[in-house]
Amino acid sequence: MFVFISHGDADREFAAEIANSLRGAGIDAWLDASDVEPGTNWLRSGARALDRADTMILVLSAKTSGSPDLKKAFEFAMTTPRFENRVITVERRTPSQTPFPYPWILRDLPFIKEAQDPQRTAEKILKFLKTAA
Protein backbone atom coordinates (compact mmCIF):
# COMPACT_ATOMS: atom_id res chain seq x y z
CA MET A 1 0.00 0.00 0.00
CA PHE A 2 1.32 3.43 -0.98
CA VAL A 3 -0.02 6.48 0.88
CA PHE A 4 0.39 10.12 -0.15
CA ILE A 5 0.33 12.57 2.79
CA SER A 6 -0.66 16.14 1.99
CA HIS A 7 -0.16 18.87 4.60
CA GLY A 8 0.56 22.55 5.02
CA ASP A 9 3.81 24.01 6.36
CA ALA A 10 2.42 24.47 9.88
CA ASP A 11 1.62 20.75 10.07
CA ARG A 12 4.92 19.46 8.67
CA GLU A 13 6.23 17.87 11.89
CA PHE A 14 2.86 16.31 12.74
CA ALA A 15 2.62 14.82 9.23
CA ALA A 16 6.22 13.56 9.43
CA GLU A 17 5.47 11.71 12.67
CA ILE A 18 2.39 10.12 11.07
CA ALA A 19 4.50 9.07 8.06
CA ASN A 20 7.18 7.55 10.30
CA SER A 21 4.58 5.59 12.28
CA LEU A 22 2.96 4.30 9.10
CA ARG A 23 6.35 3.29 7.68
CA GLY A 24 7.11 1.46 10.92
CA ALA A 25 3.90 -0.52 10.34
CA GLY A 26 4.97 -1.47 6.80
CA ILE A 27 3.04 1.20 4.87
CA ASP A 28 4.92 3.06 2.14
CA ALA A 29 4.14 6.71 2.95
CA TRP A 30 5.21 9.64 0.75
CA LEU A 31 5.88 12.97 2.41
CA ASP A 32 7.44 15.87 0.53
CA ALA A 33 9.83 16.94 3.28
CA SER A 34 11.53 13.56 3.50
CA ASP A 35 10.96 12.10 0.06
CA VAL A 36 12.07 14.86 -2.32
CA GLU A 37 15.80 14.92 -2.88
CA PRO A 38 17.53 18.32 -2.89
CA GLY A 39 17.55 19.75 -6.41
CA THR A 40 14.63 17.57 -7.51
CA ASN A 41 11.60 19.19 -9.07
CA TRP A 42 9.07 19.06 -6.18
CA LEU A 43 6.02 19.24 -8.44
CA ARG A 44 7.22 16.41 -10.66
CA SER A 45 8.11 14.25 -7.67
CA GLY A 46 4.73 14.95 -6.07
CA ALA A 47 2.88 14.16 -9.30
CA ARG A 48 4.68 10.82 -9.60
CA ALA A 49 3.82 10.00 -5.99
CA LEU A 50 0.15 10.89 -6.58
CA ASP A 51 0.11 8.66 -9.65
CA ARG A 52 1.34 5.73 -7.52
CA ALA A 53 -0.76 6.41 -4.41
CA ASP A 54 -3.52 4.08 -3.29
CA THR A 55 -4.71 6.41 -0.52
CA MET A 56 -4.41 10.11 0.28
CA ILE A 57 -4.20 11.56 3.77
CA LEU A 58 -5.05 15.25 4.15
CA VAL A 59 -3.76 16.87 7.34
CA LEU A 60 -5.73 20.05 8.06
CA SER A 61 -5.48 22.63 10.83
CA ALA A 62 -6.73 26.16 11.38
CA LYS A 63 -3.45 27.47 9.93
CA THR A 64 -3.47 25.25 6.84
CA SER A 65 -7.09 24.50 5.91
CA GLY A 66 -7.07 27.24 3.25
CA SER A 67 -3.75 26.20 1.70
CA PRO A 68 -3.82 26.27 -2.13
CA ASP A 69 -1.61 23.14 -2.27
CA LEU A 70 -3.95 21.21 0.01
CA LYS A 71 -6.88 22.36 -2.08
CA LYS A 72 -5.19 21.08 -5.25
CA ALA A 73 -4.43 17.71 -3.63
CA PHE A 74 -8.00 17.42 -2.38
CA GLU A 75 -9.46 18.33 -5.78
CA PHE A 76 -7.22 15.77 -7.47
CA ALA A 77 -8.33 13.06 -5.06
CA MET A 78 -12.01 13.91 -5.47
CA THR A 79 -11.81 13.67 -9.26
CA THR A 80 -9.68 10.52 -9.47
CA PRO A 81 -11.74 7.30 -9.38
CA ARG A 82 -9.06 5.20 -7.65
CA PHE A 83 -9.23 7.50 -4.62
CA GLU A 84 -12.94 6.85 -4.13
CA ASN A 85 -13.37 6.00 -0.43
CA ARG A 86 -9.59 6.28 -0.04
CA VAL A 87 -9.14 9.83 1.22
CA ILE A 88 -8.58 10.22 4.95
CA THR A 89 -8.85 13.66 6.49
CA VAL A 90 -7.04 14.46 9.73
CA GLU A 91 -8.47 17.47 11.56
CA ARG A 92 -5.66 18.78 13.75
CA ARG A 93 -7.20 20.73 16.62
CA THR A 94 -7.97 20.44 20.31
CA PRO A 95 -11.54 20.01 21.59
CA SER A 96 -11.43 23.56 22.99
CA GLN A 97 -10.47 25.13 19.65
CA THR A 98 -13.15 26.54 17.40
CA PRO A 99 -13.73 24.28 14.39
CA PHE A 100 -12.22 25.66 11.20
CA PRO A 101 -13.75 25.61 7.73
CA TYR A 102 -13.06 22.73 5.38
CA PRO A 103 -14.78 21.47 2.20
CA TRP A 104 -18.23 20.09 3.01
CA ILE A 105 -17.67 16.89 1.05
CA LEU A 106 -15.05 15.77 3.57
CA ARG A 107 -17.86 15.10 6.06
CA ASP A 108 -18.80 11.97 4.08
CA LEU A 109 -15.25 10.59 3.94
CA PRO A 110 -13.13 8.95 6.66
CA PHE A 111 -12.42 11.80 9.05
CA ILE A 112 -10.24 11.78 12.16
CA LYS A 113 -11.48 14.59 14.38
CA GLU A 114 -9.53 16.53 16.98
CA ALA A 115 -6.25 14.76 16.24
CA GLN A 116 -3.57 15.84 18.68
CA ASP A 117 -1.22 12.88 18.94
CA PRO A 118 0.41 11.75 15.66
CA GLN A 119 1.01 8.19 16.94
CA ARG A 120 -2.66 7.68 17.87
CA THR A 121 -3.66 9.30 14.58
CA ALA A 122 -1.45 6.85 12.67
CA GLU A 123 -3.09 3.96 14.56
CA LYS A 124 -6.53 5.18 13.46
CA ILE A 125 -5.30 5.52 9.88
CA LEU A 126 -3.91 1.96 9.99
CA LYS A 127 -7.29 0.64 11.16
CA PHE A 128 -8.97 2.34 8.21
CA LEU A 129 -6.36 1.03 5.76
CA LYS A 130 -6.85 -2.53 7.00
CA THR A 131 -10.63 -2.36 6.57
CA ALA A 132 -10.33 -0.70 3.15
CA ALA A 133 -7.86 -3.28 1.79
Q: Is the pLDDT of residue 46 over 80?
A: no
The pLDDT tens digits of the residues spanning 49-81 come to: 888 999 999 999 988 887 887 888 888 888 899
Query: What is the mean pLDDT of the segment spanning 102-115?
Result: 80
DSSP string, 27-75: -EEE-HHHHS-TTS-HHHHHHHHHHH-SEEEEEEETTTTT-HHHHHHHH
Q: What residue spans define the domains of the chain?
A: 2-132
If we measure between CA atoms, which residue out of 24, 25, 6 comes closest to residue 14?
6
Q: Which of 23-27, 31-35, 53-57, 128-132 has the lowest mean pLDDT?
A: 31-35
Q: 11-15, 45-49, 51-55: which range is least confident on average?
A: 45-49
pLDDT at 25 over 80: yes
* Superfamily designation of domain 2-132: Toll/interleukin-1 receptor homology (TIR) domain (3.40.50.10140)
Query: In this predicted model, which residue has the larger pLDDT, 102 or 9?
Result: 9
User: Residue 116 CA to chain centroid, in angstroms?
Assistant: 15
